[in-house]
Structure 1
Amino acid sequence: MYQFSYAEIAQESFAAARDRERDALQRSIEAMERAEAAGPRSREAVEAVYLTRSLWTILVEDLANPENTLPEELRASLISVGLWIMREAEAIRLGKTQSFKSLIEISTTIREGLDA
């Protein structure tokens, strides 16, 4: 019979959560890459904006939760980035911005940070 410590179970849970976050960011990045290729008024752009805004709404809410175990300074920085991403996605939706490139770059950097 296997015996696991609380720390082992918590670490596995933390790793699984990071994997889910990484996968969600990857799906968002892929959607934005398709949208970048198809253009800012395409169906792909609408889907990418919706997916990206939805994802970051969830992430920002989680980061703002006092029970989130990330260091406060890191949480604040990620919340700022998330709010910027949501504003940029909205600017694309409104036709004020035409490109997903900066959103893709920032999202990729954050996704890569989850690998560390």
Structure 2
Amino acid sequence: MTFEAYETVVEDSGYEARGRERQALSLGIERLERLQKEQRFSIEDQVQSLLYVRRLWTIFIEDLAHPENGLPEQLRADIISIGLWVVKETDRLREDRSNDVMQLVEINRLIRDAL
């Protein structure tokens, strides 16, 4: 395999990974929006939706903290900070210490749209 061919595979892989991240964030956003709009959600559905977003961001944080992550260090730190906030907010919602789902929706949209 030539260097140019390898470079193309790496670029495609990065593009595909961002696409998967966008899809995962979109699913989380849809679930959060349904929580905001529909008050008829069962407790189990609410918890599952919030846990989905929390797990997703936990995966992002772990990936960003990995030393081989290719993003610039400051950008990684900034996104990790956002991720920690998302995790805390999902916990607050799950524990009924907050009811503002829209902040989570907006942050997730901003990150998704930046990918």
Conservation of the 8 A alpha-carbon contact between 1:34 and 1:44: no
SS at the partner of 1:58? helix
1:16-35 equivalences in 2 (<5 Å): 16-35=16-35
Residue 42 of structure 1 deviates from its aligned partner by: 4.0
Structure-to-structure mapping, 1:1-116, within 5 angstroms: 5-39=5-39, 42-114=43-115
Q: Which structure's relative contact order is higher, taking Cα pairs within 8 Å and 6+ residues apart?
A: 2
Go from structure 1 to structure 2 and tell me whether the alpha carbon gap of 1:105 and 1:112 turns closer, same or farther (over 3 Å shift). Answer: same
Q: CA deviation at 1:99?
A: 2.0
Q: List per-residue Cα deviations over 1:66-109 (Å, max 9, x = no partner).
A: 01001111000000000000000000011110121000000000
In structure 2, what is the Cα distance between the partners aligned to 1:41 and 1:106? 25
% of aligned pairs identical?
41
TM-score, structure 2 normalization:
0.91
TM-score between both structures, scaled by the size of structure 1? 0.90
Q: Which moved more, 1:33-42 or 1:83-92?
A: 33-42
Q: Secondary structure at the match of 1:5?
A: helix
RMSD: 1.7
Unaligned runs of 5+ in 1: none
Structure with the higher helix share, 1 or 2: 2
Q: Is the 8 A contact 1:32 1:48 kept in 2?
A: yes
Secondary structure of residue in 1 paired with 2:71: coil
